[in-house]
Amino acid sequence: MRHPVRNILQRFRQRRRAARELDEELAFHVEMETGANIARGMAPAEARRRALADFGGIVQTGETVRDVRRLPIESICQDVRYAVRVLAASRAFAFGAAATLALAIGVTTAMFTVVDALVLRPVPFREPEQLANLVMGTDRGGTYFVAPPVVTAWRESPVLEAAESALTTTALVEVGETVVTRGLATVTPGVFSMLGGVRPVAGRLFTATEGAPGQDDVVLVSEALWQSVYARDSRLLGRRIVVDGERLTVVGILPSAFRFPSAATMLWRPTNLGHDGERARAYVRFAPGVPREDALRLATDAARRADPKIPTLRAWAYPIAGLEEGYSHRALPLLAGAVALLFLALCANVCGLLLARMTARRREFSTRAALGAARGRLFRQALVESALLGATGALAGVGVAWALVALARTLIPQQLLAQTLNAFDVDGRALAVTSLAGLAATLAAGWLPAWLGTRLHASESLRIVDRGGTESRAARTLVRGLLTAEVALVCALLAAATLLTRSFVNLASADRGLETSGVTTLWLNLGAKAPDEASRHALARTLDESLRQLPGVEQVAWSYGSLHRDSVVSPRSVDLQVRARAPAGRPEGLRYMRRAVSTQVIPGFS
Amino acid sequence: MPKTEYLQGALDLLVLHTLALGPNHGWGIQQRIRQVSREALSVSQGSLYPALHRLEAAGLLSSEMVATENNRRARVYTLTAAGRKRLQAEAADWRTFALAIRRVLQTG
């Protein structure tokens, strides 16, 4: 019992011996009977003939005995072998049904993964609804940044469980001879315990004192960076790497699933917010049980006391990730709904395929019933066959889901993908639900022919089949009803899916007030090469001239810092942004302004 | 010869009782039942061997392959303790049943 596999193998071996012994046993019987017949005075040949005749079919007896001895698993194996032969015989059907199912399962799972990561559950931390990005502003907007004393004041506030800071920027990482650009976050050491459940893959997190001037030459790196740049070199821990020209000691490696404050963050440096002119971006965890409005009012008071320069601003809480309440937030669930309907339609199609084969299958089932197959056995056969089909479809579906999610990772725009802090992997729950639903659909559809085929007496059922399908009234109504319902369902589902997709397209192509076609954005990270504004301007002027001479470039605009990414010009590095426009034959100046005032910059802040 | 449907229910009982007298092989059991019933009961092999294997699978019999004098191997069945218990129970049931039938037939 402890080793079920070994147990079964042993029983198989025993069974082979038992079969040999059964033959011997029966042969012995015939021999004894022959001997007895000879003793009664028969000729040897006649004696043996009589013994065999008397035996009533040695093969049949053997078969009956074997049935007594047969393990249930053997007959299931037999069913599976038979099912494989049946499906192989009608390859086009099997392939069509399995492929439809695979597509349904794969597409639905991939879609759910995307919606889940972007809309439903973008923050994979403990009690995500208590986490927020706290900003100071008016009802027309504000700034992401607060003065360090504000963070300290919030940390001491009873309505906030924790208040930490995390600022993102890009950093130049020197690896041997080459330099790579990666997202870097400057964080207060307490940020990891505020998020909860962050465990380094190797090494440690920051200690409470790290980040003070003189103690900030340490860095945490992401497993993703460790893998892609350092080839999982175990000696990276404790080594010094060069980031933005500074030598920093790697003290820990964080799992690649940990993404904070942005999906692109690969390096984390500590700060105690005590550096000259440093700004903070506050991430807080609200204390449980305090109404959000009261908490924000108290946070406002605390911030105003800590920073006299902002007497009119109020505290606002923003989710730390997830799509903004923009068009994609509405569009993605629409698309997901369309895909869910498509899933149902595809499942209905698989059922339809199975039902269409019913006449042929009915004949076979009736014949087998007439030859003496037990009804239960036929049922099991039908179930095994559909289960095999369903399982093949589900397995292929897993593959399709993986492929689609991998594709989505590269195809979904980075800006959209950066909205989630999830690792964006195939969602196991969605896969389980869709696979089970698909399997259930095939099982239900496969079970029907067996039920109809074995419901009547075998002879009657055969007669019906041979006469070309004069079924009993009830059976005819049932089959017709099912097929009609199936076709109606598919039509309705397709119509609904089309409408939803249409709505999605409308939403996606809605005028966002910007003309983005032909606009290309480039970022330059100058590192320590252009430390002041004058040198940045000089560099920009040289680049500007050569860019304008490129064929096809119509306009070039520049900005320092980033307008639609929320990164900052940190004292350690400088982002230089170039916007080039390809010819479109329209006056451009105005559009540029509109693009610059995109939704990412909160208007109205002085 | 009695109709086989009477025999069907009693086959297990007959086999168990025959083996209570001593271990025996299938052919021996068949001959014994025939002799003891004075040729009245004939168990067909098609019923006997499945029954033997079924009873063994149920743990009422045990068996082993034994070499015989004519250089063959025969499967010899032995009653187990569980089989002996079952025999007593079934025999008691059968006696009650037979008595009841006889009583019914004697009236009128």
Q: Would you call A56 and B70 a contact, using CB atoms and an 8 Å cutoff? A: no
- Nearest-10 crossing angle of helices B45-57, B26-36: 120
Output the CA–CA distances (angstroms, integers) from residue A248 to A47, A92, A215, A221, A243, in the order listed: 101, 62, 10, 11, 7
pLDDT, mean of residues A342-353 = 79
**DSSP assignment, residue B79?**
E
Pairing of strands A218-222, A246-254: parallel
pLDDT, mean of residues A226-238 = 87
Q: Domain limits at B91?
A: 4-106
Output the CA–CA distances (angstroms, integers) from residue A591 to A532, A581, A582, A602, in the order listed: 30, 11, 13, 18
Coil, strand, or helix at residue A427?
coil
Report the distance separating Cα B53 and Cα A15, nearest Å: 13
Flag whether pLDDT at A90 surpasses 60.
Answer: yes
**Token output for A566:** 């929320």
B contacts of A56 (beta carbons < 8 Å): 44-46
Q: Is A90 on the interface with B (CB under 8 A)?
A: no
pLDDT tens per residue, range A524-555: 766 666 667 777 778 778 888 888 887 777 77
Distance of CA A119 to the CA centre of its chain: 13
Question: pLDDT value at position A605?
Answer: 33
Q: Would you call A69 and B57 a contact, using CB atoms and an 8 Å cutoff? A: yes
pLDDT, mean of residues A332-353 = 79
Report the distance separating Cα A186 and Cα A273, nearest Å: 9
Grade residue A252 by pLDDT with cuts at 50, 70 and 90.
very high
What CATH number does residue B65 fall under? 1.10.10.10
Higher pLDDT, A482 or B11: B11
pLDDT tens per residue, range B26-59: 888 988 888 888 877 778 777 788 888 888 888 8
Grade residue A475 by pLDDT with cuts at 50, 70 and 90.
low
Q: Would you call A28 and B68 a contact, using CB atoms and an 8 Å cutoff? A: yes
Q: Is A33 on the interface with B (CB under 8 A)?
A: yes
For A335: left if phi > 0, alpha if psi spans -120 to 50, otherwise beta; the answer is alpha
pLDDT tens per residue, range A161-173: 999 999 888 888 8
**DSSP assignment, residue A139?**
T
Report the distance separating Cα A82 and Cα A87, nearest Å: 9
Report the distance separating Cα A111 and Cα A335, nearest Å: 8
B contacts of A24 (beta carbons < 8 Å): 65, 72-75
What is the count of structural domains for chain B? 1
Report the distance separating Cα A475 and Cα A453, nearest Å: 10
Query: Taking the alpha carbons of B57, B59, B64, B68 in that order, is the dihedral positive or negative?
Result: negative
Question: What is the pTM (predicted TM-score) of this model?
Answer: 0.56
Q: Which of B31, B50, B65 sits opposite A21 (nearest CB)?
A: B65
- Of A138, A150, A418, A170, the C-alpha closest to A284 is A150
Q: How much of chain A, in percent, has pLDDT values that exceed 90?
A: 6
Higher pLDDT, A252 or A308: A252
Question: pLDDT value at position A601?
Answer: 32
For B45, which residue in chain A has the nearest alpha carbon?
Answer: A55
Three-state secondary structure of A508-529: HCCCCCCCCCCEEEEEEECCCC
Grade residue A345 by pLDDT with cuts at 50, 70 and 90.
confident
Flag whether pLDDT at A517 surpasses 50.
Answer: yes
Listed by start position, the domains of chain A span 4-70, 91-120+325-508, 128-318, 519-596
Report the distance separating Cα A334 and Cα A505, nearest Å: 10
Output the CA–CA distances (angstroms, integers) from residue B70 to A32, B29, B76, in the order listed: 10, 19, 15
- Nearest-10 crossing angle of helices B45-57, A4-39: 150
Q: Which of B30, B49, B68 sits opposite A61 (nearest CB)?
A: B49
pLDDT tens per residue, range A171-208: 888 888 888 888 899 999 989 989 887 889 889 999 88
**Token output for A508:** 């996606």
Report the distance separating Cα A103 and Cα A394, nearest Å: 9
Coil, strand, or helix at residue A220?
strand
Angle at A486 between CA A482 and CA A488, to 5 degrees: 120
